[in-house]
Amino acid sequence: MPRATTVDCPGCPPLRALTFDALGLIKVIEARGKGGGGVPKVVDRWGDPDASKGLVAASLIDRKIDPLLAVARKNGVIEILNPLNGELFFSVSDLSNDGVRPEDNAIVGLHLFRKQRLELASRSCILLACRTKGNASIKTIGMADTKAGSGAPKTWNVCASGNISFSEVDGSESYALFGGKGVEVNMWDLEQCTKIWTAKPPPPNSLGIFTPTWFTSATFLSKDDHRKVVAGTNNHQVRLYDLSAQRRPVISFDFRENPIKAVAEDPDGHTIYIGNGSGDLASVDIRTGKLLGCFLGKCSGSIRSIARHPELPVIASCGLDSYLRIWDIGTRQLLSSVFLKQHLSKVVFDTNFAEEEVKHDVADTATLDALSIDETVGETEKPPTKRKKSSSKENKEGKKKKKASSKEKDGTKKLKSKKDDFADGQVSDLEYTL
Partner 1 sequence: MGGKRKDNGSEGVEGEEDSKNSNKKMKKEKREILPSSIKNKEKRSAVHAKLKHQKKLDKRKKLKARDAAAKRALELGEEPPAKQIPRTIENAREADETVCMPDDEELFAGNDADEFSAILKQDRTPKILITTCRFNSTRGPAFINELLSVIPNAHYYKRGTYDLKKIVEYANNKEFTSIVVVHTNRREPDALLVIGLPDGPTAHFKLSSLVLRKDIKNHGNPTSHEPELVLNNFTTRLGHRIGRLIQSLFPQSPNFRGRRVITFHNQRDFIFFRHHRYIFEAKETKQSDSKGKNVKDTKGEGISKEKVIARLQECGPRFTLKLVSLQHGTFDTKGGEYEWVHKPEMDTSRRRFFL
Contact residues: partner 1, CB under 8 A: 2-7, 22-23, 25, 49-51, 214, 234-235, 257-259, 261, 277-279, 296-298, 300-302, 320-322, 339, 341-343
How far is residue 139's CA from residue 148's CA, in Å, rounded to a whole number? 8
Q: How deeply is 159 buried, as exposed, middle or buried, from its count of CB atoms within 10 A (0-12, 13-18, 19+)? A: buried
Instruction: Considering the complex, state which of residue 51 and residue 404 has its C-beta at the smaller distance from partner 1.
Output: 51
Quick one: which H or E segment has residue 363? helix 362-368
Give the pairing type, strands 124-131 and 107-112: antiparallel
SS3 state of residue 74: coil
Nearest CB to partner 1, comparing residues 67 and 319: 319
Decide: 333 and 327 in contact? Cβ < 8 Å: yes
State in angstroms the smallest separation of the CB of 411 from partner 1.
Answer: 40
* Helix, coil or strand: residue 141: strand
Beta strands in 246-364 (DSSP E): 251-254, 260-265, 271-276, 281-285, 290-295, 303-308, 314-319, 323-328, 334-339, 344-349
Nearer to partner 1, 175 or 327 (CB): 327
The residue among 111 and 261 lying less far from partner 1, judged by its C-beta, is 261
* Nearer CB in complex with partner 1: 341/360: 341
Strand-pairing partners, residue 142, are 124
CB of 57 to partner 1, least distance (A): 17
End-to-end Cα spacing for the chain:
71
Minimum distance from residue 134 beta carbon to partner 1 (Å): 21
Beta carbon of residue 78, minimum distance to partner 1 (angstroms, whole number)? 21
3-state secondary structure of 260: strand
Q: How far is the CB of 165 from partner 1 (least distance, A)?
A: 12
Nearer to partner 1 (CB atom), residue 140 or residue 305:
305
Least distance in angstroms from the C-beta of 339 to partner 1: 5
